[in-house]
Amino acid sequence: MEVVVRRCDGLIVHGRTRDFSTDGMFIRAARQAVPTNTAIEIEIPRCGCLRGWVVHVGDEGIGVMFRALNSKEKCLLRQLHAENSATRRK
């Protein structure tokens, strides 16, 4: 799914999730745009936002670990996981 990554300095990077769980996600994005140890906000269009920390940068994108998720964010992840599972079964 498409996501928008926002750094705290206002830079916006568009990407696409490849894998995600309740702990984090991998986002295909320009690697030079978001360095390791950067706090970010991940906007999932029509769904909501998650806060995370870039823990890995590679040729294909960035690995993000979620910061302390509140109940709304946990609910969003469960909803996304259910939607993603249903899409894969089709």
Total tally of structural domains belonging to the chain:
1
pTM of the model: 0.80
| Residues 63-84, mean pLDDT to the nearest whole number | 82
**43-69 pLDDT, tens digit each:** 988 788 899 999 999 888 999 999 878
Q: In the Cβ-directed half-sphere of 77, how many Cα atoms lie within 13 Å?
A: 17
d(CA 80, CA 72) in angstroms, rounded, equals 12
Residue 40 has pLDDT above 90, yes or no: yes
The domain that holds 47 is classified in CATH as 2.40.10.220
Q: Could you tell me the residue range of the domain that residue 30 belongs to?
A: 2-89
- Give the DSSP letter string of 3-55: EEEEETTS-EEEEEEEEE-SSEEEEE--GGGS-TT-EEEEEETTTEEEEEEEE
Residue 27 pLDDT level (bands cut at 50, 70, 90): very high
